């Protein structure tokens, strides 16, 4: 059979994948009331919408990077401690890192759906030759990333070309292509890891702890997306230091590291090797060898991807063969707690959800540690600590709606149980509140060692809690109302990103308003600032109650 036939079959498989990603019929979801027509077209449209949202974010990042490059070219006094070429390389390093992180994150979200939807195993019994089958799998895999990947590959050279000149733009192309290939390979690699080590892990004993430990390790690269933004000031300071030193071991490590070795190419084309300042003839060679090695690795990744995609979609989950325990017991709990425990157990075998739980906590650790980079007794550092708590609150609230998507798993069965929306909402709000408290406790623990202001820090954390709970109640209340009306209960990044983003907006405002007012009011005293914050947070919690538990929601 031909490529044309493979394309046709992959189109059928992609349609099925879209349908399952949105409506989850294979997980028992029922037909939405009154909307049985055009389900296929609607699901494809929703998937396209989500891809467009992700592509738009990538495009904004790219255009933002280009705008910064243009600004630096117009006003060299900005970041004057860093030579122009090194600055351009740093910005493109950040952009390529973010591109990989976002594309990889998308893959992490969609690959479990791809596997559970079983779209390729359905085709297996048909008389399709192995080569065509491999092509179908490859095309299907590429289609998961098509718009976002094309955005990176097309827009990066154009944007860099506009900012630094056409030749520099062309020099940005290899980095963009390699970044996309790596993201696709990482998605597949972590997909296999997920199947073998996380989804296939037995329950009970200390295995849950081991799974979470695996997940933390696994998520650290994905954390780069947020961590890079957080660590950007420190990164620029380090670059300034390297520029002063000139060529050094540190410079050698930097030019050999991906994606800097590609990000430096446009700057070298635009301003020559001297513009990057940290280069020398030896380091030029290191950069060239590193770039060639990364290109070779990308080429090997393409071959590996073409061979492995099909295997992944048929990969049986590996399980241990250890003998079962002699006795098992059940420990029933309250309904809301059961929802919380169920979500944590599911997240411990589902990296997409684990990421949402771990990100605010990892971020809190990173921000808490960042305060150590500021001089002691610096009021800015104390503000940084309070800002870190606010960030934890905002992150916990922003990702809250995504936990609603867990209910799509076995959605139908769950609705046959005597479980009220109220219990479900309470369970999920408890999860979001716990995430915030753990992240905030981590920050307080780290910063108290540095700035001993226990009353202010602990009071700030506790006063913000009602606002976080209120925001979570508000978001989940809206989602339940929406799901009831539309009969479509999915809000993951791949199939319904716009819903999750839309619902997050009022939640972010609710979680962000009390700290903002604290900041404005504390010039009249910290105590007054905390009083204002308390009042607003409690009012927000009161307002959100009817949204979550009033008529039409629960």
Instruction: Bin 329: left if φ > 0, else alpha if -120 < ψ < 50, else beta.
Output: beta
Name the token pair of 83.
Answer: 């030579």
Q: Which is nearer to another protein, 75 or 420 (CB)?
A: 420
Of 1, 12, 28, 230, the residue at the interface with another protein (CB under 8 A) is: 28
**491 in contact with another protein (CB under 8 A):** no
Binds another protein by CB under 8 A, chosen from 203, 241, 246, 550: 203
Cα 220 to Cα 222: distance, rounded to the nearest angstrom: 5
Only one of the segments 218-226, 251-259, 408-416, 526-534 lies at the binding site for another protein (rule: CB under 8 A); that segment is 408-416
By CB under 8 A, residue 415 contacts another protein: yes
Are 501 and 57 contacting, i.e. CB atoms less than 8 angstroms apart? no
Which positions from 84 through 123 interact with another protein, judged by CB under 8 A? 116
Interaction of residue 199 with another protein, rule CB under 8 A = yes
59 versus 495: smaller Cβ distance to another protein: 495
CA separation for the pair 40, 220 (Å, rounded):
36
CB of 341 to another protein, least distance (A): 8
Q: Which residues contact 205 (CB under 8 A, 6 or more apart)?
A: none
Closest by Cα among 175, 169, 156, 157 to 58? 156
Q: Using alpha carbons only, give the angle 146, 500, 341 rounded to the nearest 5 degrees.
A: 110
485 makes contact with another protein (CB under 8 A): no
Residue 325 sits in the site that holds another protein (CB under 8 A):
yes
In angstroms, how far apart are the furthest CA atoms of the chain?
77
Residue carrying the six token digits 């479990």: 112
Among 75, 80, 81, 319, the residue binding another protein under the rule CB under 8 A is 319
**Contact residue for another protein among 74, 377, 416, 523 (CB under 8 A):** 416
| Three-class DSSP category at 326 | coil
- Give yes or no for a contact between 467 and 391, defined as CB atoms under 8 angstroms apart: no
Min. distance of Cβ 489 from another protein in angstroms? 12
Q: Is 416 exposed, middle or buried (0-12, 13-18, 19+ CB in 10 A)?
A: exposed
Question: At closest approach, how far in Å is the CB of 184 from another protein?
Answer: 24
Binding test (CB under 8 A) with another protein, winner from 36, 74, 77, 523: 36
Contact 396, 439 (CB under 8 A): yes
200 binds another protein, rule: CB under 8 A: yes
Taking CB under 8 A as the binding criterion, the range among 27-35, 54-62, 258-266, 535-543 that sits at the site for another protein is 27-35
- Specify the residue, 34 or 379, whose C-beta has the smaller distance to another protein: 34
Kindly state the DSSP code that residue 2 receives in the 8-state scheme. -
Q: What is the nearest approach in angstroms of another protein to the Cβ of residue 437?
A: 23
Question: Does 419 engage in binding with another protein (CB under 8 A)?
Answer: yes
∠ CA 375-376-379, nearest 5°, is: 90
Using the contact rule CB under 8 A, the part of the chain among 26-34, 171-179, 239-247, 273-281 near another protein is 26-34
Q: CA–CA separation, 287 vs 285, rounded Å?
A: 5
Task: Find out whether the peptide bond into 259 is cis, omega within 30 degrees of 0.
Answer: yes
What is the rounded distance in angstroms from the CA atom of residue 215 to the CA atom of residue 355? Answer: 8
Which burial class, exposed, middle or buried, applies to 28 when counting CB atoms under 10 A from its CB (0-12, 13-18, 19+)? middle
Taking the least distance from each CB to another protein, the nearer of 143 and 211 is 211
| From 33, 233, 246, 525, residue interacting with another protein (rule: CB under 8 A) | 33
Nearer residue to another protein within complex by CB, 25 or 235: 25
Which of 8, 12, 15, 27 forms a contact with another protein (CB under 8 A)? 27
241 CB contacts (<8 Å, ≥6 apart)? none
The verdict on 34 binding another protein (CB under 8 A) reads: yes
Q: State yes or no: residue 202 binds another protein (CB under 8 A).
A: yes
Cα-based distances in Å from 136 to 61, 120, 123, 305:
32, 9, 10, 13
Binding pattern for the stretch 273-312 against another protein, x by CB under 8 A and - elsewhere:
----------------------------------------
- Cβ at position 33, least distance to another protein in Å: 7
Task: Tell me the closest approach of the beta carbon of residue 318 to another protein, in angstroms.
Answer: 8
Q: Which of 49, 23, 53, 20 is nearest to 36 (CA)?
A: 23
Contact between 233 and another protein by CB under 8 A: the answer reads no
What number of chain residues touch another protein (CB under 8 A)? 51
- Residues in 327-366 at the binding interface with another protein, rule: CB under 8 A: 327-335, 337-338, 341-342, 345-346, 348-350
Closest CA to 344 of 473, 423, 280, 435: 435
Q: Which of 30, 41, 289, 373 binds another protein (CB under 8 A)?
A: 30
Which span sits near another protein by CB under 8 A: 40-48, 156-164, 356-364, 407-415? 407-415
Least CB distance to another protein at residue 113 (A)? 11
Instruction: Please state the separation of Cα 469 from the chain's center in Å.
Output: 22
Instruction: Give Cβ neighbours of residue 96 (< 8 Å, ≥ 6 apart).
Output: 156, 175, 176, 179, 259, 262, 263
Residue 29 or residue 391: which is nearer to another protein going by CB? 29
Q: Is 424 helix (H, G, I), strand (E, B) or coil?
A: helix
Among 41, 56, 253, 417, binds another protein (CB under 8 A): 417
Token output for 257: 């590291």
- To another protein, the closest distance from the beta carbon of 205 in angstroms equals 9
Residue selected from 125, 127, 130, 204 as contacting another protein according to rule CB under 8 A:
204
- DSSP percent split of the chain into helix, strand, coil, nearest 5: 80, 0, 20
Residues that bind another protein (CB under 8 A): 26-28, 30-31, 33-37, 116, 199-204, 317, 319, 323-325, 327-335, 337-338, 341-342, 345-346, 348-350, 409-410, 412-413, 415-420, 423
């Amino acid at each position: 059979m031909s490529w044309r036939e493979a394309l046709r079959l992959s189109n059928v498989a992609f349609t099925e994948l879209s349908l399952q990603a949105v409506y989850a019929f294979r997980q028992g979801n029922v037909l939405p009331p009154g909307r049985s027509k055009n389900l296929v077209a609607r699901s494809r449209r929703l998937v396209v919408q989500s891809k467009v949202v992700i592509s738009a974010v990538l495009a904004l990042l790219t255009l933002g990077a280009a705008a910064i490059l243009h600004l630096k070219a117009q006003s060299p006094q900005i970041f004057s401690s860093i030579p122009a070429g090194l600055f351009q390389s740093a910005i493109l390093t950040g952009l390529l890192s973010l591109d990989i992180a976002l594309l990889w994150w998308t893959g992490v979200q969609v690959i479990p759906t791809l596997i559970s939807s079983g779209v390729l195993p359905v085709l297996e019994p048909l008389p399709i030759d192995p080569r065509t089958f491999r092509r179908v799998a490859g095309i299907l895999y590429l289609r998961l990333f098509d718009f976002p990947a094309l955005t990176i590959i097309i827009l990066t050279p154009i944007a860099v070309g506009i900012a630094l000149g056409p030749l520099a733009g062309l020099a940005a192309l290899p980095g963009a292509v390699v970044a996309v290939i790596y993201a696709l390979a990482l998605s597949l690699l972590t997909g296999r890891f997920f199947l073998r080590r996380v989804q296939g892990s037995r329950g009970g004993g200390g295995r849950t702890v081991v799974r979470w430990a695996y997940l933390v390790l696994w998520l650290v690269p994905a954390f780069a997306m947020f961590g890079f933004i957080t660590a950007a000031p420190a990164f620029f300071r380090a670059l300034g230091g390297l520029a002063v030193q000139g060529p050094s071991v540190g410079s050698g490590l930097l030019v050999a590291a991906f994606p800097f070795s590609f990000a430096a190419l446009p700057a070298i084309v635009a301003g020559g090797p001297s513009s990057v300042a940290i280069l020398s003839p030896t380091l030029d060679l290191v950069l060239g060898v590193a770039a060639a090695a990364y290109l070779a690795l990308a080429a090997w990744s393409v071959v590996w991807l073409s061979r492995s995609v099909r295997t992944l979609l048929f990969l049986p989950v590996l399980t241990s063969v250890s003998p079962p325990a002699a006795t098992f017991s059940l420990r029933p709990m309250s309904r809301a707690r059961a929802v919380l425990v169920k979500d944590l157990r599911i997240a411990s075998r589902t990296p997409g959800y684990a990421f949402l739980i771990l990100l605010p906590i990892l971020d809190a650790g990173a921000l808490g540690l960042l305060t150590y980079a500021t001089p002691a007794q610096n009021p800015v550092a104390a503000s940084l600590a309070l800002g870190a708590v606010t960030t934890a609150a905002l992150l916990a609230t922003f990702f809250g709606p995504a936990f609603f998507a867990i209910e799509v798993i076995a959605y139908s069965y769950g609705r046959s149980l005597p479980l009220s929306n109220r219990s479900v909402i309470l369970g999920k709000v408890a999860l979001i509140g716990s995430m915030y408290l753990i992240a905030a406790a981590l920050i307080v623990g780290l910063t108290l060692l540095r700035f001993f202001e226990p009353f202010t820090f602990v009071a700030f954390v506790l006063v913000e809690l009602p606002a976080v709970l209120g925001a979570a109640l508000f978001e989940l209340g809206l989602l339940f109302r929406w799901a009831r009306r539309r009969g479509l209960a999915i809000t993951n990044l791949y199939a319904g990103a716009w819903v999750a983003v839309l619902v997050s907006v009022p939640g972010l405002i609710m979680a962000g308003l009390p700290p903002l007012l604290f900041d404005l009011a504390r010039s009249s005293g910290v105590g007054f600032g905390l009083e204002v914050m308390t009042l607003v947070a409690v009012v927000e919690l009161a307002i959100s109650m009817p949204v979550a538990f009033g008529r039409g929601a629960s």
